[in-house]
Amino acid sequence: MRTDNVITVGLGELAISEDPSDVLTAFGLGSCLGIGAYAPAIGVGGLLHAMLPEYSKKEDRLAPKYVDSGLLQLIKELEAKGAVREQLHINMVGAANMIEMQGVPNQLKIGERNLEVAYRILNELGLKIQNEETGGTIGRTTRLYVETGAMTVRAMGKPERPIGQSIPEPA
């Protein structure tokens, strides 16, 4: 039996893989948004771990740090591998608001804003979301299994399970 090869996708990173033993993993997504895209016909998948909603004007070494620029890069890199955009399976996990405080500066609503930007960009690209577990106030780990394209979610103290098996919390 082969062993899973865990590829950690850190904060502000993007990973693409066509190796069926790879499991692209973003640990402990809080307000960050994990976006998985999978091309079933060619068995190539990508996972984005974006931290902030929109690319700032200044030059930045990390495009995947942002939902908008990261998402465009994710799709572009998958297309470069031969993926057909319309056939991509898109799943999203994360974008929680970890902290609910009174009189908090709105900078803390980063989760919500990450999600809004993701919806807008996906809509502009004509892409549909297959499943998502986003919002709420809990952290989540997500994994994309390159062999099957399955995406999973795990919250603290809970077992890992396929995404979308429960009703996603409202954003």
Q: Which is nearer to another protein, 125 or 138 (CB)?
A: 138
CB of 26 to another protein, least distance (A): 9
CB of 139 to another protein, least distance (A): 2
Which tokens hold the place of 27? 């640990």
Q: Which residue has the tokens 């955009």?
A: 85
Q: Which is nearer to another protein, 27 or 130 (CB)?
A: 27
Cβ–Cβ under 8 Å, residues 124 and 70: no
CB of 37 to another protein, least distance (A): 21
By the criterion CB under 8 A, which residues form the site for another protein? Answer: 10-12, 27-32, 51-52, 60, 62, 65, 96, 98-105, 107-108, 110, 138-141, 154, 156-157
Q: Which residue has the tokens 């077992």?
A: 159
Q: Which is nearer to another protein, 105 or 170 (CB)?
A: 105
> Dihedral sign, CA of 97, 135, 144, 66?
negative
CB of 41 to another protein, least distance (A): 33
**Which residues make Cβ contacts (< 8 Å) with residue 31, sequence separation at least 6?**
51, 94, 95, 96, 97, 98, 108, 110, 111, 114
